[in-house]
A and B are shown apart, each in its own frame.
Chain A
Amino acid sequence: MAIILRAVEIEKKYGKGELQVNALKPSNLELEEGVFYAIIGKSGSGKSTLLHMLGALDKPSSGKIYLEGESVFDLKDSELAVLRRRRIGFVFQSFNLLQEHTVLENILMPIHLDNKDPDKEHLDKVITSLGIEDKLSFYPDELSGGERQRVAVARALVSQPAIVLADEPTGNLDENTGREVMRLIKESAKKFGQTIILVTHDLDIAREADVVITIADGKILSIEETKGLADNK
């Protein structure tokens, strides 16, 4: 399978001088198209930092990230924004829905910001598969945590991005809802051939991934293919 995302010697430091913290030590990573990656590690290990940089939401202190062969952080601001809007879908742990907008508005926002109309068939599919078709005119604060996360997933998937990144998408959910959300992400990715990169500290969820990347103290310790990936291959 083709390499969709490549990180070369990316590093993230916070602060200056003696107070400087290496959130992510120089790391290399190559991620293939259509594969489900899980990044696991303890709290503060640097997994979210890595995810943010891979999703072009944060800039590495050094190193480069290539998406489909293009150096992401060498792009102009406007090009980077277009890339975020078209090629990357991001599911945040705390949903990050815009409270002033309805569910449907939130879901369609990336497409509308791209000055496009949604593919209605695809939209219906996503909405139906996430089971939020009767919540479209609700505001986020009228939904439960699970429902909000589904909306966040729908927003990430609706523009059919090449990569879906999810930062502990089940972290704020109960076990059953969490499983349900995971199932939906996986199903959608499978259906649309997307690459999923998911940060979690839940090993059960990680086991469902094709590749598990373990990170500790800001360093990638291992990248292991699971049985699932071998089966797929």
Chain B
Amino acid sequence: MDLREIAKVGLKGRKKDTLLLKIVIVLAFVFIVTSIVFQGSVETTKLEQRLDLYGDWHAAYLQGNAQVLDRLKTEKDIDSIGVSTIIGVSEKAGVIGTFNEELLEMGRMELYKGRYPQASDEIMVELNQISDMGLDLEVGQKIEVELVAVDRKWDLTEYVESLKDKFDERWIIENGYTNLKYNTHHNVPFEKVGEVLVVMSANYIYVSPREAYVSPEMLIDDGGLISHKLILKKEFTITGILNTYSDKWDSNGFTVANSFITEEGGQEFTNAIYNNSLGDFSYLDMKSNIYLRSDALEGELFPSIKDQYPNMVIEDIENDTQWMVNAFVFTFGRSEEERQAVYDNILSYSSIKEKNEGNIEGGGQDHSKMEMNTSNFRRNNFSYPDKLASTEYVLTLSIIAIIFITTALAIFQIFLTQMRRRARKIVLLKSIGATNSQIVKMIAYEGFYLLRTGILIGLPTGLGFAALIIYIMNKFGGRNIDFHIIPSLLILGIIAGILALLIGMAVPVIYAVRIPLVGTMSKPPKHKKISQHTKKSTLKRQTFNSINLQYYKQNRGKTLITFGLSLTSIVILTTTILLCYLSFDNYREVVRSTNRPDYAMETYYGEMTIKLPKVQEELLQLEGIKKAEPYKVGRSTLLWYDGIGDNKFLNDFKELLPMNLGARHFTSYNNELVEQEPWIHNAFYTKYYGIDGNSEIFDRFESQLTVGRIDKEKFHKGDEVILLIPMYLEMDKEIKDVKISSEQLSVSTTDDNRMAWIFRNNGRYDLSYSNRYADYYRFPEEIKHGDTIYLSADEEKIEGDSRVTSYVTKEVQVGGIIHYFPEEGVWPFSNSMASYVVVGSYNGMESIYPNSRNGLLTKSLSEMKSITDTFYPNGYGRTIWYLDTDSQGVDRILDAKLLTFANENGYTLFNYKASNAELYHEALNNAIIIGLLGITASAIACVILYNTTVSKLEQDKNRIGILQALGVTKEQFSNHYLKLGIITGIGSMIITHIILFIVLLLTSIGLIEGVNMSFVDYVHDIFVNRLWLYPWFVHVIVCIVYLIITIFIYYLPNKKVTNLYPVENIRSLGR
């Protein structure tokens, strides 16, 4: 019989031990393969989804020119270049650009309908562009594209300087500056170049004495050119509707095309720009977005060449030239201070004039984010995020590492126990001449056989298991994961499994080699050596329990090992649940705690209240829509109360706010309102959300009131409102070096979240609506429930041929105030942190936004858009729907249905579902991996525990036999092991929970910045906030299952031993 045979027969002979080893190694391989394949599949699917969403380009130079393109073409590492030359901006089709084949390919452009353009008069338009313009979602339509190819403001400095020669100070003093007149002239010559109609629109200014005659020729020849536009017109046929990509790609504000024409079509436009007789536009540097792919470098393409491609220098004429001339004229001959005052006034007025609130919904902007990347040359971070930093990547490596350690420990423990049991046989083999190397070889063969079983069973089972999980997630979880194996990662996992086995076997092999031919390697129990023995010791009566206790005390090592293993199992299990829970942190924080809906739909007009139930019914009829809640929202609501001048928050906000943003929040910046009543000229701009007093939304708001109560009748009439005012914490630290320009602030924050952002970033206050801070933050007391506030809104109306602005004011009572949301927040307030938001009834809202009562009425969408854009920007209010669906997955059919609905009703659709689903599924994937890891690791720990318990019991057989001989009954033994199981289980659970609590406590310290918390506060915070939505039910079930398993592990093996007669157990000593 050779060594291989001895190993094989030996494994067969030690059935139970071999089975345990096989279980461990198979479990390890099953888990390694499952997790790697699952993770690989999810990663690959996610990558594919990312590439579909964000394009398969590695880097891009946005707004580059021909020189940049030519240089990039010479880069040897670049395999393909997708180019989109931006032709201009059109009202109907958005930004018009060209495309090439490479762009379609690397952009993974998907058509919603139709085909790509082939002829020079064909165009494909993005879905959202079609939707925004209210065009039909149909191909074959002919549209006349009128695009602005050149829109240039000229620097008037030279002309303004020339005025000084024309009108010296003396002339101004003698005649007065009001005697100056500035004449403007607008001319629009046109010409047809090929199929393209070219129109040039130029504006001139000419300052003259009031009485002087000025001809158009004088204006053109001697005046200053303010601006000119080159407008190109051409008819196109829509051949395709492109799925929206422009708001998804990593472009960060750079202009990208919304509609694509062929390069030939682009050439026609370029030709028209450069070869017309209307003017010389050779200075125009056509911009192209250049997308790059490199098969060899992939994500490394950008860092490898970025230094060679700096940003483009952009000629920046930002001053409003018209106002610049005004300022010059009005300040001519005045002091520097007076001049500055005029400029400031102009700036603030300019700001009011350009006050563009955009969407109320704000696109779901996260108030905490403020990142900007203004580089032309950029990496596609959306498609190719930094791999090393990704959670999934770290998780995969951690899984392999943890399984490696767990498997190695399990193999080590089981093999070592086995070696102890096999000591006599090994000694026998040695005594008949087996060398140490032969012993090692024999054990190595055993390892080989185990490995063979592990791989043969573990690999296919793991693959099957992964396929099953993917199938279940696709079938029931609304996912679309493709089964995918990453060979390199799988090989790494298998190597880890093999290494774990080899390392786990190493120490037991050394033990086997070192077993002496005579004597024993076991040590006597460590009892306390007695130095002075008494003649006769007094003795308390011994019981079976005390005898056992004595035994465990004196064999602490063994006792602690089994207890430690039991503890390890429950620590792994409970930590797994906690980690699974924590993996949903982001989802909870962003979606659940803010109550972010799946979709929001906002329209630019106030829908007739009477129509809202019908719209709601239509929305709820769409398959998948679970909830549809409407708000009628009035923008730019003026809020005032007696004493507003002493409101420290508003005063601090005003103080910290850059001047040119002041007019967006305070009416006092508007000099035109100085003569108005104080509730008009000294008010704070907020929003008025109108809700149905008999709806679920009302009940929700009412239940969340922090102070006060609502009289439903008064609320319905609009005489009583709810105010949302966040709690605050005085941060008490002055941050002086906040260097952020008003422009950046304007771009990065919304009107809603600006106050909270500024307060926080200036170290003044932290504002919050979160119940987590309810015990530590203070409630502002500037406005109390029961107080009277004045709400006003613009009442724009047309009188004659001009728009007249007056105000409608309503005096209302604050019925209740919400300072924080007791549990889940209410979207969008919980996200925006807006202060002094008014929530009232539809009637209340419509009483100050009277046009809102009319809704669409008989007007078409485009007419309504013109009315609200031009005449009544605020008067009509807005309508917002928040929609929730009954699933977590992305539903493209529902997306399309909602888009159509939005299109038909003039709504803008905000899709949060994709982002909600992404957050949810990312968390779910991590939770599955962590769960699998936890279950496998604790299963292995349980196998080790079982093996240790059995092994310990076998070592105790002699003692058990002696006790049996001394009259201990089977029942006593059974009860003892049952108790031991219960004590170990419960003890382990208690310690585990203490450990977890300490971990949570330690990680809670300092989490709530600026607040001194007591121990009780931390406990409250942990259980109420950090463990909010914690699956306690699962936790309790897992603990119960663990306890049952532990009891069985302790209890069952004893039966086999205690069923034997004493002498059989005593004889076992000789094994």
> Chain A: residues with CB nearer than 8 A to chain B?
52, 55, 57-59, 77-78, 81-86, 90, 92, 94, 96-102, 104-105, 108-110, 112-115, 117, 133-139, 141-142, 155
Q: Give the docked Cα–Cα distance between A82 and B964 (Å).
A: 10
Residues of B within 8 A of A108 (CB): 539, 542
Residues of A within 8 A of B1003 (CB): none
Q: Mark B941-980, 1 if CB is under 8 A from A, else 0.
A: 0000000000000000011011111111111100000000
> Chain B: residues with CB nearer than 8 A to chain A?
524-525, 527, 529-530, 533-537, 539, 541-544, 547, 550-551, 553-555, 958-959, 961-972, 1061-1064, 1066, 1069
Can you spell out 9 A-B residue pairs with CB atoms less than 8 angstroms apart? A59-B1061, A81-B972, A84-B965, A84-B1062, A100-B525, A104-B537, A109-B547, A113-B544, A139-B527
Q: Are B1063 and A58 in contact (CB under 8 A)?
A: yes
Q: Give the docked Cα–Cα distance between A168 and B543 (Å).
A: 30
Residues of B within 8 A of A105 (CB): 539, 542, 550
Residues of A within 8 A of B969 (CB): 77-78, 81-82
Q: Are B959 and A98 in contact (CB under 8 A)?
A: yes
| Set B537, B544, B962, B967: member contacting A102, Cβ < 8 A | B537
Residues of B within 8 A of A55 (CB): 965
* CB within 8 Å: A-B pair count: 115
Q: Are B530 and A86 in contact (CB under 8 A)?
A: no
Q: Are B967 and A57 in contact (CB under 8 A)?
A: no
Residues of A within 8 A of B533 (CB): 134-138
A63 CB to nearest B CB, Å = 15
Q: Give the docked Cα–Cα distance between A130 and B473 (Å).
A: 77
B36 CB to nearest A CB, Å = 48
Q: Are B534 and A137 in contact (CB under 8 A)?
A: yes
Q: Are B537 and A52 in contact (CB under 8 A)?
A: no
Knowing A137-B534, A139-B527, A139-B530, the reply to whether A113 touches B968 (Cβ < 8 A) is yes
| Set A92, A97, A114, A137: member contacting B967, Cβ < 8 A | A114
Q: Are B536 and A136 in contact (CB under 8 A)?
A: yes
Q: Are B966 and A110 in contact (CB under 8 A)?
A: yes
Q: Are A57 and B536 in contact (CB under 8 A)?
A: no
Q: Give the docked Cα–Cα distance between A103 and B806 (Å).
A: 106
Q: Are B535 and A109 in contact (CB under 8 A)?
A: no
Q: Are B537 and A57 in contact (CB under 8 A)?
A: no
Q: Are A90 and B965 in contact (CB under 8 A)?
A: yes
Q: Are A100 and B550 in contact (CB under 8 A)?
A: yes
Q: Give the docked Cα–Cα distance between A86 and B554 (Å).
A: 28
Q: Are A104 and B524 in contact (CB under 8 A)?
A: no
Q: Are A98 and B962 in contact (CB under 8 A)?
A: yes
Q: Are B967 and A110 in contact (CB under 8 A)?
A: yes
B994 CB to nearest A CB, Å = 30
Q: Are A99 and B524 in contact (CB under 8 A)?
A: yes
Q: Are B537 and A112 in contact (CB under 8 A)?
A: no
Q: Are B1062 and A104 in contact (CB under 8 A)?
A: no
Q: Give the docked Cα–Cα distance between A219 and B539 (Å).
A: 46
| Set B535, B965, B968: member contacting A96, Cβ < 8 A | B965
Q: Give the docked Cα–Cα distance between A154 and B530 (Å).
A: 22
A108 CB to nearest B CB, Å = 6
A96 CB to nearest B CB, Å = 5
Q: Give the docked Cα–Cα distance between A37 and B529 (Å).
A: 40
Q: Are B967 and A85 in contact (CB under 8 A)?
A: yes
Knowing A81-B964, A84-B967, A135-B533, the reply to whether A117 touches B1061 (Cβ < 8 A) is no
Residues of B within 8 A of A113 (CB): 542-544, 547, 963, 966-968
B217 CB to nearest A CB, Å = 119
Q: Are A81 and B536 in contact (CB under 8 A)?
A: no
B1064 CB to nearest A CB, Å = 7
A142 CB to nearest B CB, Å = 8
Q: Are A92 and B544 in contact (CB under 8 A)?
A: no
B538 CB to nearest A CB, Å = 9
Knowing A99-B525, A139-B530, the reply to whether A109 touches B1063 (Cβ < 8 A) is no
B329 CB to nearest A CB, Å = 107
Q: Are A101 and B550 in contact (CB under 8 A)?
A: yes
Q: Are A96 and B962 in contact (CB under 8 A)?
A: yes
A149 CB to nearest B CB, Å = 15
Q: Give the docked Cα–Cα distance between A51 and B555 (Å).
A: 32
Q: Give the docked Cα–Cα distance between A90 and B966 (Å).
A: 8
| Set A104, A138, A139, A141: member contacting B539, Cβ < 8 A | A104
Knowing A57-B1062, A135-B533, A137-B537, the reply to whether A101 touches B967 (Cβ < 8 A) is no
B525 CB to nearest A CB, Å = 5
Residues of A within 8 A of B554 (CB): 99-100
B1067 CB to nearest A CB, Å = 9
Q: Are B971 and A78 in contact (CB under 8 A)?
A: yes
Q: Are B1062 and A58 in contact (CB under 8 A)?
A: yes
Residues of B within 8 A of A85 (CB): 966-967
Q: Are B971 and A101 in contact (CB under 8 A)?
A: no
Q: Are B966 and A58 in contact (CB under 8 A)?
A: no
Q: Which 10 pairs between the two chains have the least Cβ-Cβ distance?
A: A85-B967, A112-B542, A81-B969, A137-B537, A57-B1063, A58-B1063, A137-B533, A100-B554, A52-B1063, A57-B1062
Knowing A100-B554, A134-B535, the reply to whether A117 touches B967 (Cβ < 8 A) is no
Q: Give the docked Cα–Cα distance between A194 and B222 (Å).
A: 142
Residues of B within 8 A of A109 (CB): 542, 547, 966
Q: Give the docked Cα–Cα distance between A74 and B992 (Å).
A: 47
Q: Give the docked Cα–Cα distance between A134 and B534 (Å).
A: 7
